[in-house]
Structure 1
Amino acid sequence: MEDYLTSDCQNCFGLCCVALPYAKSADFALHKNGGEPCRNLSAEYRCGIHEQLRDKGFRGCVSYECFGAGQHVSQNIFRGMDWRNDQSKSGEMFAVFPIVQQLHEMLCYLSQAMELEETKPFWGELKEAYDQTVEMTNRAPEEIFKVDIPGHRSTVNKLLVRTSELVRRGFVPKNRNKRGLDYLGANLKRADLRGANLRGALLIAANLSHADLRKADLIGADLRDSNLSHADLTDCIFLTQSQVNAAKGNRATKLPSYVKKPDHWL
């Protein structure tokens, strides 16, 4: 996966800490409106409690990933303009950021798909969708607002579903009648989930320790507080850093090369 599709906070003006709203909940210790700077954001655009986020009730911040949208909006679209120094442009910047974040997330998935051996038969279609998405992220703000995100996401999703079907081909479906909701808090310790279709599955607090998730499709799966200790996710597809950050694991957990083990894992 391309390096520019991972967050680079040193080249961002703390956009995720300002542009995005959040409500007081198990993931956030307080309420914040969109466009309102987080009270923990420093003058240098750094989080003042970065090492204590989980302990202070900001688990949502730990799991968040902008897929590189922050630095792209800050340095490319707005050419290094600091929103604190130009209030006339700040609202526009904050509105552009979540749109670009969605486009960068699609680029992340397309990038993964293009690297797979199974997608060679339609690599050209993936590359075309990738290039079109990149072009959208490089438009002027007023043109970015016109992007049909749902329509483009539908086009991209068809390619991702096709990718998933090819990658998982040959695996016998298990738990054929299970729905994603059934995995909430489920005990799946040592489960053979190779080639499983877990798209959008609710795996919150599920025990996946020692589970085999190779070739499983995890796009959109909710892994909050799931136990991935000793699990093998080596060549699962469409796993993101955000999902991994939200889960629990240890140094024995096997992850794809493009995902790093979070610091809070044991």
Structure 2
Amino acid sequence: MARRLALHYVPRSSFVHALDARTKLFAVLLLSSALLRPNRLALAVVTLGLVVATAAARLPWALLWRTYRGWLPFFLLVFLVQAFSLNHVPSKSAMYEIFKSFNPLGAWRAVSSLFPHREVFRALDTVWRLGLMVSWAVVFTAVTPPRDLQHAVLWLLRPLPFFSSRRIAVMVALSLRFFAQLLDDAEHIRLAERARSGDRPFRPFRRLRTTLSALFRKALAHSETTALAMAARGYREDVAVDIPPWPTRHGAALGLWAIGLAALQLF
């Protein structure tokens, strides 16, 4: 049986799960905005907050690891693009002499010159911030039920004119659920292919073609099932939704948290 991947709600009896969805949504937005600037102190505080939130919510640590493993090719690409420097590319004659003499030390120096220490540290800082953004998004979806997320988006967009807030909120909740279901389907397809053709030679393009076609069929089936379920339940956008007011103490706590994050950016 395939393991459940990221972007799924993980029910637990913790105070993090009991928080209002709007509080968690604004907290994630504040933390993501604090990661936009390369501030090492802010990065350390946000990282510590991620560890504390994950432990307080009693979430499995393997959830974050599976998320990082899926994003690893993207992180590696970002690191290589940012760490590579054209200003330190050796000349053609120097490269020819290095590889002609088969000097491992010279080859290592030539390759390392393409990745200066300053650029490598900047690339690591960027990957660290991107990893924290992804991790906080995973934790947020793990501690927030889809219905609560839908009500939070509806409450946030309701005051805006010329917007179908109900439709947008439903689309956000369904999109999140749909993407999470596709991740699970991809894991099921991968395990099924391994079980049926484990002894065959590895053919990446053929495997990619079969995986994408099967995933596309499953996506169409999920879309049709969701549309029929909404029609059968009589979904209407003009039906009023009763959303309780946002707790005042949550807003005050978020205000203090925002002031603290802003103070960290000054150091």
TM-score, with normalisation over the residues of structure 1?
Answer: 0.28
Larger helix share, 1 or 2: 2
Larger relative contact order (CA 8 Å, sep ≥ 6): 2
The two structures have a TM-score, normalised by structure 2, of: 0.28
